[in-house]
Amino acid sequence: MLFQLSEEHLMIRQAARDFAQNELKPGVIGRDEHQKFPAEQIKMMGELGFMGMMVSPKYGGSGLDAISYVLVMEELSKIDASASVVMSVNNSLVCYGLEKYGSEAQKQQYLIPLAKGDVIGAFCLSEPEAGSDATALSTTAIDMGDHYLLNGTKNWITSGNSATTFLVIAQTDTNKRHNGINALIVEKGMPGFTVGAKENKMGIRGSDTHSLHFNDVKVPKENRIGDEGFGFKFAMRVLEGGRIGIAAQALGIASGAYELALNYAKERKAFGKPIADLQAIQFKLADMATNIEAARLLCLKAAWLKDNDQPYAHASSMAKLFASETAMKVTTEAVQIHGGYGYVKEYHVERLMRDAKITQIYEGTSEIQRIVISRSVLK
């Protein structure tokens, strides 16, 4: 087994690291405090090819592999998880879903501008009463012949106000349950489509999370992705890749907090010596480093499987579960190592701790990942 990154991977990681330090870090505390969407930074990420990393150059993408994607997600998430989650949704859910399952006409009209970063995409599955249970959707898309009539509400939508292209999962035939669900491409500005209030979140406050409302929105039949009733399978398949992105985000949050804690421990003195000389701090740092490395290997394994067209649902769930729990543990310890300074904004670790929590919730909670993993090992 080869554990060494290629020269190309190292260059991509360094480019992401430089961008995060030079463009994301300045102003990140203010964006978090004021819930400001990082529009300028997202535009630059598009120019760097980060918004369509795995999309073929034929459709405006960078044509890179999932390992490159994990490396970039980690570096950006060390600094600004609000920016990285926008990138994650655009790459893992929207671009991947359109390139893998969309028609050629859909790719030409929607995928190319998304992959170039000219516009932003959103994935719309969760509802007020249907979060993890994708078969309990109340949003309906009634077949009207040449179009669907879309009605309902979607909750917790990343880039809900900034996106222009929305992949909406809706129920067409309730009698068929999961076989009666469709995935539709909805454009911002379609009559009857309105964006609800922005959520005031604990973490990832720079990303704009909104509810979306559909009131008799006419969606052309040609905007359906795949065959009639393919929507449930579409959602489940793209979420498998989405978990790799969120796992990498959690990894980045953890590694960012660890680096801050390590540097602080070397500089902060107590009882006449750096606190890094104290065994209690050393043990914390050792556990943090070990868990981060394990999470990194799980993320890279899931990405490698995806790159090599091998089943990766099991691996992506493991990566997402372990990396998200590592993010919470590591960020909590990073705040503890900083002591009172860890509780104030200017030292960054309190923000990373708040950002870490969401990685245990979205793209399927930790409990959902355990169900996926247990089904795999018990079959």
Q: Could you list the active site residues?
A: 363
Which residues, listed in sequence order, are joined to residue 273 by a DSSP beta bridge? 270
CB 206 within 8 A of CB 351: no
Q: What is the SS3 assignment for 65? A: coil
CA dihedral (44, 239, 195, 80) positive or negative = negative
The DSSP string of 197-227 is EEP--SS-TTS-EEEEEEEEEEEEGGGB-SS
CB 79 within 8 A of CB 256: yes
Q: At 273, which helix (H) or strand (E)?
A: strand 273-274
In angstroms, the CA 34 to CA 37 distance is 9
Assign residue 321 a region (left: φ > 0; alpha: ψ between -120 and 50; beta: otherwise). Answer: alpha
CB 94 within 8 A of CB 165: yes
Count CA atoms within 13 Å of residue 149 on its CB side.
Answer: 6
